[in-house]
C-alpha cells in the first residue's frame, strides 16, 4: 500500500495547484489528485520495463558480436549469465506486468542509445565483472546484480530521470519514493514466485482505503482552509498572507486539519509528518518555523477543546 506520507505529499501538491488556480473546480481537483496517485503505478511499470529493455539490449549486443566477420572466441561463445538472469526471466513472464506494459504502450525505441550507455557503464563495473566471473550463481546473486543495475545506474542517471519527468508532470517529485519502494519490492522476490505474482503489491492503488484517505484529507483542507487564520493572527506578528511563504502556510494548514478533523491519527504522527514535509518542499529553515507554529497552535487548540484523538497503541502502530 502507498504510505500515508506519500499520500499527504500528493494532497499538498493538489491543494497547492487548487489554490493557485483559484477558480478551479473541486471535482476536477479531486480527479487530478487521484490521477497523480494512479500515475505512481505507471512510473513503477516504466521502471520494470526499462530493466527488461536493458536485458534485451544486452542480448542484442551478444547477437551483434556473433555476427561479426571475424568474431573472437569469446564472442562466438558468449557468457549468457546476465541475459539468462532468473529475476529478468520472472519479470518477463509476469502476467500482470506484460499486460500493464502493453496497456501503457511503452516503447523505448527513442531512448535506446541512452539505455545502451547506461548498460555499458554498468558492464564496466566491478559488480558486473564479479557476477559474470563466478563459477556458479544463485538466485540471490541474480537478484543482487539486477538491483545494483537499478539502484546505482538506472535511478542515478539524470538523463533517464529527465526523460521520465517529461512524460508525466507528477513523476519528478515521485522518483525518490518510488525508487526506494521499487528496490524494496525487488528484494522481496523469491525464486518460487509464479508468473501470477502481483507486481503492484507495494502500492495497492485499487484499495478503497488509499483513495478514501487522500480524498477525505483534501476535502477537509479545502473546507476548513480559512478556519485557522485567527491562530496565525495571534501567533505571527503583522501576519500577511501575501508575504508568508505560501508552501509553509499550506503545510501548516494541512497539519492543523489533521490535528482537528482526523481523530484516528495520533498527534505525534501528524507533527512529525508535516515537519518532515517542510524539509522536503519548502525553504531551508521551514521545518523549524513549521514545528514552532504547530506546537503553539496545538496548545491553543487543546485549550479550546478542539483536539479529540483516539490515541491507542494499536492505532499508533497502524499509522
> Which of these ranges, 1-15, 56-70, 149-163, has the smallest mean pLDDT?
1-15
Candidates 1.10.940.10, 3.40.50.720, 3.90.870.10, 1.10.3720.10; CATH matching 224-318: 1.10.940.10
CA-nearest of 27, 31, 37, 29 to 4 is 37
**301-319 average pLDDT score:** 67
The pLDDT tens digits for 257-279 are 999 999 999 999 999 999 999 88
Q: Over the chain, what is the mean pLDDT?
A: 88
Grade residue 203 by pLDDT with cuts at 50, 70 and 90: very low
> Which parts of the chain are beta strand (E)?
none
The model's pTM is 0.78
**Are 218 and 30 spatial neighbours (Cβ–Cβ below 8 Å)?**
yes
Joined grid coordinates for residue 4: 500515508
Joined grid coordinates for residue 161: 530521470
Which is it for the CA torsion 117, 119, 123, 124, positive or negative? positive
Q: For position 319, what pLDDT does the model report? A: 42
CA-nearest of 83, 91, 100 to 43 is 100
Using the predicted structure, report yes or no on whether residue 318 has a pLDDT greater than 70: no
Written in H, E and C, the secondary structure of 29-87 is HHHHHHHHHHHHHHHHHHHHHHHHHHHHHHHHHHHHHHCCCCCCHHHHCCCCCCCCCHH
Domain ranges of the chain: 38-187, 224-318
The pLDDT tens digits for 160-175 are 999 999 998 778 878 8
- Reduce the DSSP state of residue 189 to 3 states and report it: coil
230-244 core/surface letters (b: 16 or more CB in 10 A; e: else): ebbeeeeeeeeeeee
**287/27: higher pLDDT:** 27
Grade residue 207 by pLDDT with cuts at 50, 70 and 90: low
**Are 245 and 282 spatial neighbours (Cβ–Cβ below 8 Å)?**
yes
> Which parts of 138-207 are beta strand (E)?
none
Which percentage of the chain shows pLDDT scores above 90? 61
Q: Which stretch, 42-56, 170-184, 235-249, 270-284, has highest mean pLDDT?
A: 42-56
**115-125 average pLDDT score:** 97
The pLDDT tens digits for 62-99 are 999 998 888 888 889 999 999 999 999 999 999 999 99
**180/215: higher pLDDT:** 215
Q: Is 168 exposed, middle or buried (0-12, 13-18, 19+ CB in 10 A)?
A: middle
Whole-angstrom distance, CA of residue 154 vs CA of residue 149: 6
**205-224 average pLDDT score:** 84
Instruction: Give whole-number Cα distances, 114 to 9, 53, 94, 123, in Å.
Output: 31, 11, 25, 14
Using the predicted structure, report yes or no on whether residue 316 has a pLDDT greater than 50: no
Q: For position 222, what pLDDT does the model report? A: 95
Q: For position 239, what pLDDT does the model report? A: 58
Using the predicted structure, report yes or no on whether residue 113 has a pLDDT greater than 80: yes
Amino acid at each position: 500500500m502507498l504510505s500515508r506520507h506519500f499520500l499527504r505529499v500528493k494532497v499538498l501538491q493538489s491543494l497547492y495547484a487548487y489554490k493557485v488556480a483559484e477558480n478551479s473546480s473541486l471535482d476536477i481537483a479531486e480527479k487530478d489528485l487521484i490521477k497523480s496517485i494512479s500515475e505512481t503505478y505507471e512510473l513503477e511499470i516504466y521502471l520494470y520495463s526499462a530493466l527488461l529493455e536493458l536485458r534485451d539490449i544486452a542480448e542484442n549486443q551478444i547477437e551483434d558480436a556473433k555476427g561479426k566477420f571475424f568474431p573472437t572466441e569469446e564472442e562466438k561463445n558468449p557468457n549468457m549469465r546476465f541475459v539468462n538472469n532468473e529475476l529478468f526471466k520472472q519479470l518477463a513472464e509476469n502476467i500482470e506486468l506484460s499486460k500493464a506494459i502493453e496497456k501503457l504502450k511503452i516503447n523505448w525505441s527513442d531512448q535506446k542509445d541512452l539505455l545502451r550507455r547506461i548498460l555499458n557503464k554498468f558492464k564496466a563495473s566491478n559488480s558486473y565483472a564479479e557476477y559474470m566471473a563466478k563459477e556458479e550463481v544463485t538466485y540471490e546473486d541474480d537478484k543482487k546484480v539486477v538491483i545494483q543495475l537499478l539502484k546505482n545506474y538506472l535511478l542515478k542517471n539524470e538523463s533517464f530521470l529527465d526523460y521520465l519527468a517529461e512524460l508525466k508532470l507528477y513523476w519528478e517529485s515521485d522518483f525518490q519514493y518510488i525508487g526506494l519502494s521499487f528496490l524494496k519490492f525487488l528484494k522481496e522476490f523469491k525464486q518460487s514466485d509464479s508468473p501470477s505474482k502481483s507486481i503492484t503489491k507495494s502500492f495497492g492503488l485499487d484499495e478503497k482505503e488509499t483513495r478514501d484517505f487522500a480524498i477525505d484529507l483534501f476535502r477537509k483542507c479545502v473546507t476548513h482552509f480559512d478556519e485557522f487564520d485567527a491562530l496565525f493572527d495571534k501567533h505571527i506578528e503583522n501576519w500577511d498572507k501575501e508575504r508568508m511563504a505560501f508552501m509553509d502556510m499550506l503545510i501548516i494548514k494541512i497539519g492543523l486539519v489533521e490535528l482537528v478533523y482526523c481523530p484516528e491519527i495520533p498527534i505525534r504522527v501528524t507533527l512529525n509528518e508535516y515537519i518532515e514535509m517542510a524539509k522536503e518542499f519548502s525553504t531551508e529553515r521551514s521545518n523549524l518555523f513549521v514545528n514552532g507554529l504547530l506546537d503553539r497552535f496545538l496548545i491553543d487548540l487543546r485549550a479550546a477543546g478542539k483536539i479529540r484523538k483516539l490515541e491507542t497503541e494499536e492505532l499508533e502502530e497502524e499509522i
